[in-house]
Amino acid sequence: MTIRAVQKISTGRNGVGSFILQCKKMNFHYCDWAGSSRGMNGFIKSLLPKFAASNPQVEFTVSPRPSKHPLIVAQYINGREKSVCVRNMEPYEILKKAELLRDASGEKNKRVTKPVQSINESVRGVWSPYHGNGLRV
């Protein structure tokens, strides 16, 4: 037999076939006493139930963090976590931050210069100097 197989493993592309939201858990920390938590407490009372109901794929926890600034910690599928301190923020500002964390991929922030990143090979192919009519110098 002249052909042998080399074992390779398929790679997944999130969003092709199915999309998995990368944020898997969000912890909301608040303080009952401190003034910097006033917005967070209002957020937890008024906006969080709706936000949690509209995002069933994320696990939500609310826990006190006495004598500390309020905090949102999001955990991602890739194992990383991101946290945002929301001290002195209004409830709707906190909602913005929560949406930001929910939509993040969990990767480190990177500067994106190319509009498309793909693992597919180029449709046009790589330019070759040995084909075509060549370039007269």
Partner 1 sequence: MKRLRLDRWTGQLLLARPGASPASTPRAVLRPAVAAPRCTAVRCQSTGAVSQIPGEVEDYHDGTDPIRFPPLEQLPPRATSLPSPTPVRALQSAKLAALHARLSLPERLPLQTLARALVDASADENPQFNNTNLAFVGQTLINYHVAEWLMCRYPRLPMDILYAAMKGYAGPTALHHVARSWGIEHAAAPGGEVDPGLLQFSMHKPGDAITGFGYRRAEIEGMKKYKWRHGMSSRVVFDDDFGEVVDTEQSKEELRARADTEYGNEYTRSLAEKAYATCARAVAGAIYAHAGRDAAKAFIRAHVLSRTLDLSRLFAFKKPTRELSLLCAREDFEPPVARLLSETGRLSRTPVFVVGIFSGRDKLGEAAGPSLEHARNKAAMNALKSWYLYSPGEAVRVPSDMLADDAKPWEPAYIDMGEIIGR
- Report the interface residues with partner 1, using CB under 8 A: 1-14, 16-18, 20-21, 24-25, 56-61, 77, 119-120, 128-131
- Pick between residue 10 and residue 113 the one whose CB is nearest to partner 1: 10
Which of residues 9 and 123 has its CB atom nearest to partner 1 in the complex? 9
Facing residues of 63 across strands?
Answer: 29
Residue 32: count of CB within 10 angstroms of its CB = 10
**CA pair distance 55, 52, nearest whole angstrom:** 5
The least distance separating partner 1 from the CB of residue 44, rounded to whole angstroms, comes to: 16
Q: Identify which of residues 24 and 65 has a Cβ nearer to partner 1 in the complex.
A: 24
Q: How far apart are CA 69 and CA 64, in angstroms?
A: 10
Least separation in angstroms between residue 52's CB and partner 1 is 10
To partner 1, the closest distance from the beta carbon of 89 in angstroms equals 25
- Structure tokens, 76: 């991602």
Q: Which is nearer to partner 1, 13 or 50 (by Cβ)?
A: 13
At 53, is the secondary structure helix, strand, or coil? helix
